[in-house]
Structure formats: structure tokens, C-alpha cells
Chains A and B, each alone.
Chain A
Amino acid sequence: MVDIATRPPIDWSTPAARARRKSRYAANRRLQAYGIAAISLAIGLLGILIISLIATGYSAFVTTRITVDFPISTEYVNPEDPARGNYRAVVKAGIEELFPNVTGPDERALGQLLTNNTQFMVRDAVVADPSVIGGKLSLSVPASDPFDQLNKGLVDRNTPEDERRVTDQQIQWFDQLEAEGRVSTPFNWGLFFNSDSRFPELAGLAGAIVGSFYALLVCFLVAFPIGIAAAIYLEEFAPRNRWTDLIEVNINNLAAVPSIVFGLLGLAVFLNFIGLPRSAPLVGGLVLALMTLPTIIIVTRASLKAIPPSIREAGLGIGASKHQMVMHHVLPLALPGILTGTIIGLAQALGETAPLLLIGMNAFITSPPGGILDAATALPTQVFIWADSPERGFVALTSAGILVLLGFLIIMNSIAIFLRQRLERSW
């Protein structure tokens, strides 16, 4: 053993010492370079994802509309009962007025310019304002999907006629309408305010947004109180023994269970055993709650653990009961962390698809669900449905749906970050 006092003074300037220092700095720089490379890769991939989504999805954020003056003659519409008029004929008359020279079989092809639901839109407009009966109703109606695509430049006019869904004749008519200033391209509010439809030009996310909202509401109302109660018990009151260890391990396991398993569980328990309605946000929310529960328990326990023992001692030392100590001091201090974790858990639940498909929350519904027991879709399952549809227009809608979903996720995570920064405290 070398006695430290008798050792000669260390020479820090020898070449060997210098080389050691140099290699240490080099290692430092390498580590930094790896980190920067990893982050650049991650950001690059994310960028590619978003750019490709925007590239395919942007066109769904605008829509093509054609303004037509429909003659509402009393021949077709009874002023006493406007809801039951022959609006098919009204639409036909409106189109004929635009192109008086087109007759015969061509008239059918002409009718394809407008969306299929035009007659119902005209009806609703007339019912809303019966004073137009006998006069003219100027209404801008969505163009049908092929012409929507044409207008957005997504149909190549140079492809042979039999390989595209619009004929040369139809293109000529459309160009004529455009020349007359009857074609407009406004923002597609229908994406947010319409429900699903078989026709891409009419399909929107309203039903899915409402369905997701109800499901998340149920999920929150179930998972939040149960999760917090369980976490408080485990963290503050439960004795440390083999049983609580077992519970702890299983909660951690539960957080790692694939979501489809929860879907199967929901199918077996909530639908087949309890007999709750299929496709309902109630069931979706319960399944999502099962998934979110372990997350909430884990973040709540972590937040409770992070409260310094000195605060607990202060409470107990002054004669607070354990319950008072937890409720008055520990829980309020842990709440920001709990809320942050809960929001992140809910954001995960919002994007969850597989369990919702299993319990049927991919219903085709044309109006938003009225409550938690109605059949519904959710945002991710709506994207799934659209991704599966053949029409060209649904391709853009799928990307747009994903963008909207990502938008909601970003909003939720921003709220979580905001809360964390706002309410964070240091001891």
C-alpha cells in the first residue's frame, strides 16, 4: 500500500495525462453527437409523417361547391306541406335550366355533377324558408366526389377517358360552370360538422368527435376517482407485505397489457355478460377506463411519493390524522402531477383503436350519438372506416381525420405540459 502522504506530487502535464484528458473530451463529444443524431432522426421521421399526411389530407379541408338556381314551382312543392314535395324533379329542373340543350341520356350524366343528397338539401332549405316556393332558390351544393377531385386537380385530364371516373363531356360541362362563376372552393366546415356518409364529399367527423368525447368522459369519470382512490390506499395506507407487492406488480403488468386484450375483456364482460348495448360510448369508455386505470394509479403513486416526507411529518406532528394529512396536504400538492398524468392517459385512450373495434364502436352513423347509450364511432375508428373505403375522396379524408386526431392529441398534451409548468413547485 502506498502511503498517500509520501507519494510524489502528481504531474498533470505529462503526455499520458494530456492524452487521457483528450480522450475524455472526445468521448464527451461523441456522446453529444449520438444524441443529436438520434433526435434529428426522430424529428425527421415525425416530419415525414406529418408532411405526407398534410400532402394527402390537405384537400379534404376544402370542398367544391356549385351554385344552382332551383325553380321551386308549386307543381312539385305543395306550400301547405313543403317537406313532402317532389324535390328530385326540382333538382332535375334546376340542372335543365343550366344546360337547356342537354337532353335524353346525357341528362343523367349531367346530374352526376352534384352530390347525391342535393334533393334533401333543397328540401331542407325550402322547409327552413317556405317563402321561396313559387320563386327561385339559389343554393350552393357540394359537387359529387369525382368533380370535387377534378376541381382540386387530383384528376389528370390527360389520362384516357375510360380510365377516369369523369367523361370528357362532363369535364366540359364542369368547365362551363366554372367559367360562369358557379364553382367555388370554400373551407370544408362539413369535415367538422357533418357525420359520416357514404359520399366522401358529405362525410365529416362530427359523429366521431362526439363519440370520442362521450367515451373519454365515461373513461375519465370511471378511471380518475377509482385510480386515485386505489393509489392513495396503496401508497399511504396499505401495509407493505406480500399481498400489496403482488398487487403492485400486477398493476404494472396491467399497464403493459396490449389494448386488444382489454377489448376482448370488454366484449366478454360488458356486452355478453352484462348485456350493455353494442357500439355504445358507455362500453367504449369502460374499456378505455380499464386501460387508463393502471396509468392513473402509477402516476398518482409517483406524484404522492414525490411529496417530501417533511410535509407529512409536519401534518402528523401537529396532530392531523393520517386521513387529514393526505387530504389536506399530500393530495393537493400531488394534484398537478396527477392531472398531468391523467391527461396523458386520456390522450392515449383517445388514440386507442383496437378495443373499440372489438366492441363495435365503428358503427356507420349519419348523425352524432345523442348519449352514451347510442351507437357511435370514435375518431380513430372513423379513420379506420375511411381507410377501408374505396372512393378516392376517402383517401384525403383519412389523412385529414388523422390530422384532426393528432391535433386533439397535441392540444391535450399541451394542456398537460402547461399544467405541469404552471403548477410545478419546488421545495
Chain B
Amino acid sequence: MNDASMSAEMTANLSKSLDFDQAAKPKVVAKDVNVFYGEKQALFDVSIDIVEKSVTAFIGPSGCGKSTFLRCINRMNDTIEGCVVKGGISLDGDDIYAPSLDVVELRARVGMVFQKPNPFPKSIYENVSYGPRIHGLARGKTELDEIVESSLKRAGLWEEVKDRLNEPGTGLSGGQQQRLCIARAIAVSPEVILMDEPCSALDPIATARIEELIDELRANFTIIIVTHSMQQAARVSQRTAFFHLGILVELGATEQIFTNPSDKRTQDYITGRFG
């Protein structure tokens, strides 16, 4: 991790965080990621390790590039015209921007939950079974049924919808829809789940349920969550990364970031001086 091109400040931050997870295995490693939207550069030399089976929170003021970076990890930026990603991101050591890599497979391994719940306008069952079906993960109907049931159970939605699996997913409440989207994402057994402000459209009770859920999912999945809520970041994450103006300012244990940030900008942000 001692890249010569990195600023001294950043190296200091990163080695500090590295101390913290010496034992932990990095699942996703980004190195000098620069992202451009046409002429405009949105991310500058972002290097980060995401630890396996833990929750990493991305915080930072609006427009600082959190979503942009998140979408680099499952290559959703490919779909944006004029978006260019430079640098390297690897998943379990494999470069995800290598020409030989299959995006479809990558997105099965790296699931995503979006800011606004976006269930397919199909039945609840079809929403959850769609991923396993297109990836051929189930042999036969009974196996598919099992996957649907277990995914909905893990997303904490089973009890509420087990009697109406054939009703449209869009007929659920906002919080239920978001849990349905989480069930849909975990149905393909991804290794990493990316969540872009998953609770921003939800009320506090639904938010609490999703947070509980994230805490449970941590045992099996590597989770990256973008959030604007400091409290949420503090509650659900083990590590927190602070972005500012396209730069990864600071990355560290959540506790340390919130109690003893080493960068002035982080300090200003978490104390509410800007953002």
C-alpha cells in the first residue's frame, strides 16, 4: 500500500487504517481510481481497501463522488455515456476492469441496492427469483422456491409477504419495497453488496429495520453503504471512509473517525460545519 504517488497525508491515514485491519482480508482493493464524466473529473486518485464480511460506510458532502465510486465497483458506470474510469479495482485479487472480465458475472458477485426502491413491476416472487433464474442458480422449481423463501427470510420480509408472493412488488410499502430489493440482491448470493443511500426514502422505523438487517447480513456479505446520516454510519459500519470533492480524505475504524478524526475536513464535516 505504499504507493509513491500518494500524498504523505493520505499515506499516513491509510497506514493507520491498515494497522487496524492487519488481520482482516481485503475483499475489494481500489488503487488510484480516477473517474471522469466527459471533461469533468469526479474522483481523484482514490485508493481504498474494503474489508471482507464487514460494513464500510462512505460519507461526505453531496456531490463528492460517493455514488460514483460505489458504481465503479460493479461497473454500473459503464452504462453512463462519457464516463471513463482509470486506475485499478480488484475483487479478490482479480482486476474487474480487465477486458476478459464478464460484467454480467461481476454484477452477480457484486449486488447493488439503490437509493430509491426499484422493484420490477412484477410479482414479489418474480422479483426475487429473477436473478437466480437468469444466472441459472436453481435446478427446478422447488429449488427456486427455496431460494426465494430464504432470501425473503434473510431480508426480514418473509412473514409480511409469504401469503401474497404473486402480488406485484410495487404494491408494497416503501420500506417493504427496499427490503424486497435487498432480498432480490441477496438471492444471487453476491459476495459484496453495494447500498447507495438505501434508507433515504424511508421513515425511521423502516430505516431501523434495514439497519438491523445490514447488521445481520454482515456475517455473510461484504457491505458498502453510502449514507448522509452520521448516526447511521456510526450505528451500522465498522469502517468509515470520508470523501470530499472527489478525494478520499480519510479512512478508518468508524469509532476513530467519529471520535478522533485525523483530518481537519473530516472533523468539520462530522461536527456539521459543512455538508
- Of the candidates B107, B114, B181, the one having the most CB atoms from chain A within 10 angstroms of its own CB is B107
Chain A residues within an 8 Å CB radius of B175: none
Name which of A115-123, A143-151, A320-328 contacts chain B.
A320-328
Total chain A interface residues with beta-carbon distance under 8 A: 19
Contact with B along A301-337 (1 / 0, CB 8 A): 0000000001111111111110010001100010000
Cβ-defined contact, A317 with B81, below 8 A: no
Q: Does A240 contact B (CB under 8 A)?
A: yes
Chain B residues within an 8 Å CB radius of A310: 114, 116, 118
Q: Does B153 contact A (CB under 8 A)?
A: no
Cβ-defined contact, A317 with B74, below 8 A: yes
Cβ-defined contact, A333 with B74, below 8 A: no
Cβ-defined contact, B121 with A317, below 8 A: no
Chain B nearest CB from A334 CB (Å) reads: 12
A137 to B181, CA, bound (A): 79
Total chain B interface residues with beta-carbon distance under 8 A: 26
| Residue of chain B at shortest CB distance from A317 | B112
A425 to B122, CA, bound (A): 12
Cβ-defined contact, A320 with B134, below 8 A: yes
Chain A residues within an 8 Å CB radius of B74: 317
Q: Specify which of A311, A317, A333, A427 is in contact with B76 (CB 8 Å cutoff).
A: A317
Number of A-B contacts (CB under 8 A): 61
A310 to B201, CA, bound (A): 14
Chain A residues within an 8 Å CB radius of B112: 313, 317-318
Cβ-defined contact, A324 with B111, below 8 A: no
Chain A residues within an 8 Å CB radius of B184: 314, 318
Cβ-defined contact, A319 with B76, below 8 A: no
Q: Does B79 contact A (CB under 8 A)?
A: yes
Chain B residues within an 8 Å CB radius of A240: 81
- Of the candidates A316, A321, A427, the one having the most CB atoms from chain B within 10 angstroms of its own CB is A316
| Residue of chain B at shortest CB distance from A313 | B114
Q: Specify which of A315, A318, A320, A328 is in contact with B111 (CB 8 Å cutoff).
A: A318
A33 to B108, CA, bound (A): 59
Q: Does B261 contact A (CB under 8 A)?
A: no
B-contacting residues of A (Cβ < 8 Å)? 240, 310-321, 324, 328-329, 333, 425, 427
12 contacts between A and B (CB under 8 A): A314-B118, A314-B119, A314-B120, A317-B185, A318-B111, A318-B184, A319-B106, A319-B107, A320-B134, A425-B121, A427-B121, A427-B170
